């Protein structure tokens, strides 16, 4: 644009690339209005569908097969973001995006388009594109996808823009966009219609970009340490590796009841038996449990197993994995929660579960104490208990009720009772406890690991205890996995194992409070259409 052009500069009407751009056609970007609803929505859809038929009658293809772009919005900003205000270049670019703002100013049309990388303004001049093309551009709607070929420029106020020479419709939106202030105010609607949420809520997309970077970082870190990524079955003949209620299904050909996996553990340890030494898997897990801000019936776990190591080794690698993921995903290891700032890069303290409880209530607590004594302690502190629980389970419930909420900084909680840890080795210094730990940050458990039990005789005895609990009505207890016992009988070397919930790490680093914010399509009740 000529710096002396008397045309009023409208760059301020365009939302910044990292902010909302949900504005009505005639309203400013900072005063969005709700999209049509009810009968208004039906009328608007009808108008757009009629326009679609008009376009087809005119020989326009409203849904072309492809479009060749040369630059993303981010690449345009990186290449020309230094331009001074009022500069018009001869540098040609071809970009594409969804129309998020559209303003008709007579012989000029100003639009904001958005691609995955950000927003940029279009400065559409009738004198440049011609009368027919300009008329077609004026018929575009918010939500339409367009491909644009033009030159890079800045307005007098410094707004980086593309001045189109041609504008091609890439996809006609027949449903008007909601806006994040009104159209998607119901959280269930946001999660159910994630496609719409991603359009109008840049923060939603940012959360999933963070999640992607976390997973990529984990893979790089483990690759650099000699771990092999593998895939193991989702359908299991025995549901094991964790305390959880499984989903069941039926295989018709084999006439066999199968379970969706509740953990990755037992198959990965079979690979350690086979001599693979360092393996990991990032995979989907399924548990038939409640839904909350921290739980979804299907979620993503990373599990790794390292031969010749123990729980100390996998505690060390836990710190490395999560700290490096923070650097890669959000560019810092400094986090803030509940008014407290902490650094993931600082050493994480290791606190025994029984010591945390003892410090909280001011008296010793240990699973070796008589069960009646632990039950009385639970009642004293308002902790519910069940008749079938032993001392170890009571200790765990006391910890969850009294201590978890106080853990803000990253902490390893260690020494879980043997009763609740059927796959972990007994603590070398205390037979009532195991060499097991959980990772807690911001009152959330992020991971679980231990020195792996590799004695087949002891493992069978632990499995039989689990089977007894299952027979007594514990739906989360596992049974005896005979094939896994057989694998251990071939000999598994000393091994350290670790499982980390990728969704919860994403919650931590994205700074969100609900697991639904980091799962693209969380489990919800079916929508009544």
Q: Which residues contact 58 (CB under 8 A, 6 or more apart)?
A: none
For the ranges 25-39, 333-347, 415-429, which has the lowest average pLDDT?
Answer: 25-39
What pTM was computed for the model?
Answer: 0.88
pLDDT score of 3 more than 80: no
**What does the alpha-carbon distance between residue 478 and residue 471 come to, in Å, rounded to a whole number?**
10
pLDDT tens figures, 7-26? 333 333 333 333 333 333 33
What is the mean predicted confidence (pLDDT) over 160-180? 93
Q: Which residues contact 166 (CB under 8 A, 6 or more apart)?
A: 129, 133, 148, 149, 150
Question: What pLDDT does 184 receive?
Answer: 61
pLDDT tens figures, 99-143? 999 999 999 999 999 999 999 999 999 999 999 999 999 999 999
How would residue 31 be classed by pLDDT, with cut points 50, 70 and 90?
very low
pLDDT score of 260 more than 90: yes
Question: What pLDDT does 474 receive?
Answer: 85
Question: What pLDDT does 38 receive?
Answer: 65
pLDDT score of 153 more than 60: yes
Question: What pLDDT does 97 receive?
Answer: 98
Q: Which residues contact 308 (CB under 8 A, 6 or more apart)?
A: 277, 493, 494, 495
Give the dihedral sign, CA 212/514/504/191: negative
How would residue 185 be classed by pLDDT, with cut points 50, 70 and 90?
low
What is the mean predicted confidence (pLDDT) over 325-353? 96
What is the mean predicted confidence (pLDDT) over 71-100? 98
pLDDT tens figures, 34-70? 456 667 889 999 999 999 999 999 999 999 999 999 9
The hierarchical CATH code for the domain 11-181 is: 2.40.50.140
> Can you give the residue ranges of every domain in the chain?
11-181, 202-349+409-517
pLDDT score of 243 more than 90: no
Q: Are 384 and 369 within 8 A, CB to CB?
A: no
How would residue 409 be classed by pLDDT, with cut points 50, 70 and 90?
very high
pLDDT tens figures, 457-492? 999 999 999 899 888 888 888 889 999 999 999 999
pLDDT tens figures, 195-239? 999 999 889 999 999 999 999 999 999 999 999 999 999 999 989
Please tell us whether the domain made up of 202-349+409-517 is placed in CATH 1.50.10.10: no
Give me 328's structure tokens: 């890669």
How would residue 338 be classed by pLDDT, with cut points 50, 70 and 90?
confident
- Computed over every residue of the chain, the mean pLDDT equals 91
pLDDT tens figures, 371-388? 999 999 999 999 999 999
DSSP state of 180: T
Query: Could you give the percent of the chain with pLDDT greater than 70?
Result: 91
State how far the alpha carbon of 43 is from the alpha carbons of 35, 37, 47, 200, 209, in Å.
12, 9, 6, 22, 36
What is the mean predicted confidence (pLDDT) over 78-97? 97
């Amino acid at each position: 644009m000529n710096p002396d052009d008397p045309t009023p500069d409208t760059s301020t009407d365009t939302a910044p690339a990292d902010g909302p751009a949900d504005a009505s056609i005639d309203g400013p970007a900072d005063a969005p209005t709700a999209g049509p609803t009810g009968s208004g929505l039906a009328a608007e859809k009808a108008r757009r569908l009629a326009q679609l038929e008009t376009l087809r009658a005119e020989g326009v293809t409203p849904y072309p097969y492809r479009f060749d772009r040369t630059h993303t919005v981010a690449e345009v900003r990186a290449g020309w973001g230094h331009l001074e205000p009022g500069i018009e270049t001869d540098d040609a670019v071809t970009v594409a995006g969804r129309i998020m703002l559209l303003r008709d100013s007579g012989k000029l049309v100003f639009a904001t388009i958005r691609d995955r990388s950000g927003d940029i303004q279009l400065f559409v001049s009738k004198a440049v594109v011609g009368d027919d093309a300009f008329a077609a551009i004026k018929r575009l709607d918010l939500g339409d996808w367009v491909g644009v070929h033009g030159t890079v420029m800045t307005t007098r106020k410094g707004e980086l823009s593309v001045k189109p020479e041609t504008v091609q419709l890439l996809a006609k939106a027949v449903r008007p966009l909601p806006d994040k202030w009104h159209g998607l105010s119901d959280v269930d609607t946001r999660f159910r219609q994630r496609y719409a949420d991603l359009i109008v809520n840049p923060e939603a997309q940012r959360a999933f970009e963070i999640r992607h970077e976390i997973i990529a970082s984990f893979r790089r870190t483990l690759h650099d340490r000699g771990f092999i990524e593998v895939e193991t079955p989702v359908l299991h003949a025995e549901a094991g590796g964790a305390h959880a209620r499984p989903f069941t299904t039926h295989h018709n050909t084999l006439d066999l009841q199968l379970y969706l996996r509740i953990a990755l553990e037992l198959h990965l340890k079979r690979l350690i038996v086979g001599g693979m030494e360092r393996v990991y898997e990032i995979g989907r897990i399924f548990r038939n449990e409640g839904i909350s801000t921290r739980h979804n019936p299907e979620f993503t776990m990373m599990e790794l197993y390292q031969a010749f190591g123990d729980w100390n080794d996998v505690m060390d690698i836990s710190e490395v994995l999560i700290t490096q993921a923070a650097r890669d995903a959000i560019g810092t290891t400094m986090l803030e929660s509940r008014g407290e700032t902490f650094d993931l890069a600082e050493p994480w303290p290791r606190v025994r579960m029984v010591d945390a409880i003892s410090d909280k209530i001011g008296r010793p607590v240990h699973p070796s104490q008589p069960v009646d004594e632990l039950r009385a302690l639970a009642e004293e502190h308002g902790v519910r208990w069940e008749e079938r629980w032993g001392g170890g389970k009571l200790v765990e419930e006391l910890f969850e009720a009294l201590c978890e909420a106080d853990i803000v900084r990253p902490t390893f909680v260690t020494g879980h009772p043997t009763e609740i840890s059927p796959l972990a080795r007994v603590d070398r210094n205390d037979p009532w406890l195991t060499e097991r730990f959980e990772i807690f940050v911001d009152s959330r458990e992020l991971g679980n690991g231990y020195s792996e039990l590799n004695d087949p005789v002891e493992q069978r005895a632990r499995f039989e205890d689990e089977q007894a609990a299952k027979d007594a009505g514990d739906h989360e207890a596992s049974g005896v996995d005979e094939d896994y016992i057989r694998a251990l009988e071939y000999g598994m070397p000393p091994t350290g194992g670790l499982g980390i919930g990728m969704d919860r790490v994403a919650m931590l680093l994205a700074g969100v409070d609900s697991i639904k914010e980091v799962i693209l399509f969380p489990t919800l009740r079916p929508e009544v259409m």
